[in-house]
Amino acid sequence: MRQGAILLQKSRPANRDRQRQTCKACGRPDKFDFSVPDDVWTAVVPIGLRSRVVCLGCFDEFARKAGVDYSGDLSTLYFAGDRAAFVFTVESSSVVV
């Protein structure tokens, strides 16, 4: 399984922003942890970013451009905020709309 991002344990809140990973596609702090199979990661993520941290927002945009519906392949989806963390259920966007 390919990790889109890995949550970091933070021991000191003052260092939170410095310890949080950033997306190498957009540069924003990454607050989501998600996993997809390697073949999906390869089909979606541009070659120059495949061994780098890619946030869920950028991954989703890359998937849209590649025509890949990864909703059935997402095995983990967590959000780690500054005040709370959440575990999400994954649904295809065609089901939600």
pLDDT beyond 50 at 72: yes
The boundaries of the domain holding residue 77 are 2-96
**Burial bucket for residue 3 (CB in 10 Å: 0-12, 13-18, 19+):** middle
**Tens-place pLDDT, residues 9-68:** 433 444 555 567 899 999 998 889 899 999 999 999 999 999 999 999 999 999 999 999
Number of domains the chain is built from: 1
Those residues with Cβ within 8 angstroms of residue 55's Cβ, 6 or more apart along the chain or in another chain: 4, 5, 23, 25, 26, 28, 30, 32
Torsion of CA 57, 3, 71, 44, to 10 degrees: 70
The residue whose two tokens read 């344990």 is 9
pLDDT beyond 90 at 5: no
Determine the pLDDT at residue 59: 96
User: Do the Cβ atoms of 5 and 30 come closer than 8 Å?
Assistant: yes
* 44 vs 3, higher pLDDT: 44
